[in-house]
């Protein structure tokens, strides 16, 4: 019986609470909340995206393999961050291009190749993409798409890939006598300072821990415009500088004198006219540390913008800007 009395007393109380809740809900529906003058705090890591995705150039990094000497994943990560932080690009990465079709490339303004399908340069077989994806890439550029051919990608197709060599203008072909100078710091000379990519740059800038590609094989029918060069100095092959990868008995003074182009200037940055497309080629940029230097980093960003759009709006980085004395000349 006590339980019955408590239940009888609880039911009226529940009804009252439900009635009150209904009235409160009706009142809330009519309540006007005034706007608050409040700005959420910034996140710890600011993301520099001044343009909406629709206003940025779409860039696709084609990658997935490279030689044992190249930190290609580190380079991809840094390239993606640097290009996006320029405010000009929306960057995507694809690590398996074997299933690519024209539709894969259609959304993009420019493709950046950071790919070499050999773990060691002497590997007899190269992991290529196949005829379909390769033709899709050539057609994409020929029909007006932009492309950046980057560093180790110039080794693709060795000993011979005429279609690639025509698009890139030149390629590293050891059987032709192509070589890499011992990795070191060297000066790059901007020989064409009227091109949109190099306009406003100083004549010389440094790159460090980089490869100097020398004596490349050039396609005689490619329409190449050389923007920057570097000198392959025989002095850099000295054993105390070059290290064990350059055995002294194979790089004697006499042998060095017989190497084509020794102590000469060799193209490091150039453009190619390829159908209606724009091709920007840069052999510099060995690793993430090299991408910290203004000249190399700026050339990649400005070259990619030019390849994508035909114009350059990204400013020259401070460490590569022309000196005031040069501008006055």
3-state secondary structure at position 28:
helix
Question: What are the CA-CA distances from residue 183 to residues 69, 168, 210 (Å)?
Answer: 11, 23, 5
182 membership: H or E segment, kind and range: strand 179-190
* Joined tokens for residue 318: 């401070």
* Residue 153 backbone dihedrals phi, psi, to 5 degrees: -60, -20
Q: How far apart are CA 119 and CA 133, in angstroms?
A: 21
The domain made up of 53-328 has a fold known as Rossmann fold (3.40.50)
pLDDT at 47: 59
Least confident of 17-21, 224-228, 242-246: 17-21
* Residue 60 backbone dihedrals phi, psi, to 5 degrees: -115, 120
**What contacts 242, CB < 8 A, 6 or more positions away?**
182, 236, 251
pTM of the model: 0.83
- Provide the pLDDT confidence category of residue 226 given band limits of 50, 70 and 90: very high
The count of other CB atoms within 10 Å of the CB of residue 289 is 13
Bridge partners, residue 213, by sequence: 180
Q: How far apart are CA 163 and CA 257, in angstroms?
A: 32
Residue, of 6 and 203, whose pLDDT is higher: 203
């Amino acid at each position: 019986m006590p339980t019955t009395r408590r239940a009888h007393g609880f039911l009226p109380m529940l009804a009252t609470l439900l009635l009150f809740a209904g009235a409160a809900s009706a009142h809330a529906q009519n309540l006007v909340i005034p706007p608050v003058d409040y700005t959420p705090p910034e996140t710890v890591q600011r993301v520099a995206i001044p343009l909406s995705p629709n206003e940025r150039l779409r860039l696709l990094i084609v990658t997935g393999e490279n030689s044992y000497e190249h930190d290609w994943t580190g380079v991809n990560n840094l390239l993606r961050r640097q290009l996006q932080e320029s405010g000009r690009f929306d960057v995507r990465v694809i690590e398996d291009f074997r299933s690519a079709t024209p539709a894969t490339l259609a959304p993009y303004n420019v493709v950046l190749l950071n790919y070499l399908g050999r773990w060691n340069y002497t590997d007899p077989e190269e992991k290529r993409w196949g005829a379909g994806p390769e033709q899709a890439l050539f057609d994409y550029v020929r029909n007006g798409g932009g492309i950046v051919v980057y560093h180790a990608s110039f080794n693709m197709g060795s000993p011979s890939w005429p279609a690639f060599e025509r698009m890139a203008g030149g390629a590293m072909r050891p059987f032709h006598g192509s070589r890499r100078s011992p990795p070191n710091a060297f000066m790059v000379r901007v020989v064409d300072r009227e091109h949109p990519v190099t306009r406003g740059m100083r004549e010389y800038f440094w790159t460090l821990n980089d490869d100097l590609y020398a004596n490349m094989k050039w396609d005689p029918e490619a329409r190449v415009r050389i923007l920057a060069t570097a000198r392959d100095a025989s002095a850099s092959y000295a054993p105390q500088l070059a290290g064990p990868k350059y055995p002294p008995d194979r790089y004697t003074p006499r042998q060095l004198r017989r190497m084509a182009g020794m102590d000469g200037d060799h193209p490091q940055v150039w453009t190619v006219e390829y159908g209606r497309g724009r091709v920007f080629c840069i052999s510099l940029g060995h690793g993430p540390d090299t991408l910290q230097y203004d000249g190399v980093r700026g050339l990649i960003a400005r070259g990619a913008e030019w390849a994508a759009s035909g114009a350059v709006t990204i400013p020259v980085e401070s460490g590569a800007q022309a000196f005031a004395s040069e501008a006055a000349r």
